[in-house]
Amino acid sequence: MLTTLKENQFDELYQLFEESFPQDEFRSYTVQRGLLDRENYNVYIYEQNQDIAAFFAVWETEDFVFLEHFAVGEAYRNGGLGGKLLKHLLEKVNKPVVIEVEPPDDELKQRRVAFYERNGFHFSPYGYIQPALGEDRQPMPLNVMAYPQPLNDERFYVFKDWIFAELYN
């Protein structure tokens, strides 16, 4: 079902980034491509009709997985595919998973949080300002969600220390 991204598929993947996320939520082409060389970073894809229909970009640590990006291509949305793939990923990684979400201050953001809650994630009041991911990007306020257990203070600060040291340094 999920396979690992091959380097020659990166251009198609990056196009899905551009279609699925506001510019402030992902890195420039060169920086994003460079992440593929990181040992603890993986991109898992789901292909349909020889297209990348969906993908997960994840950072794996000894204690948890950070699901940084998850997108389903527009042509494949609203059919339950996202939930099925997320369930498959959660079984595959078999560790606590943390994600970032924008504060749910409008309907779209509330629907996104509700999707993750339906899939076993717990919304957390904990959050931070994500630094800009490049010169042409803006900082973003984010909350975190966790699976299968809610985050407590200690687990949040372990995650926050890791993400600021590893990704947002």
Main-chain phi, psi angles of 78, to 5 degrees? 70, 20
Instruction: Give dist(CA 127, CA 145) in Å, integer.
Output: 9
Residues of the domain holding 37: 3-166
pLDDT computed for residue 123 by the predictor: 98
Q: Are 148 and 98 in contact (CB under 8 A)?
A: no
pLDDT computed for residue 68 by the predictor: 98
pLDDT computed for residue 22 by the predictor: 92
pLDDT computed for residue 1 by the predictor: 87
Strand blocks (E) in the chain: 3-4, 41-48, 51-60, 65-72, 97-101, 122-130, 140-147
pTM as predicted: 0.95
- For residue 40, give the CATH number of its domain: 3.40.630.30
Mean pLDDT per 10-residue section of the chain, whose length is 169 residues: 95 97 95 96 96 97 97 93 96 95 95 97 96 95 97 96 94
Instruction: Give dist(CA 136, CA 23) in Å, integer.
Output: 9
Look at the chain and report how many structural domains it folds into: 1
pLDDT computed for residue 21 by the predictor: 93
pLDDT computed for residue 14 by the predictor: 98
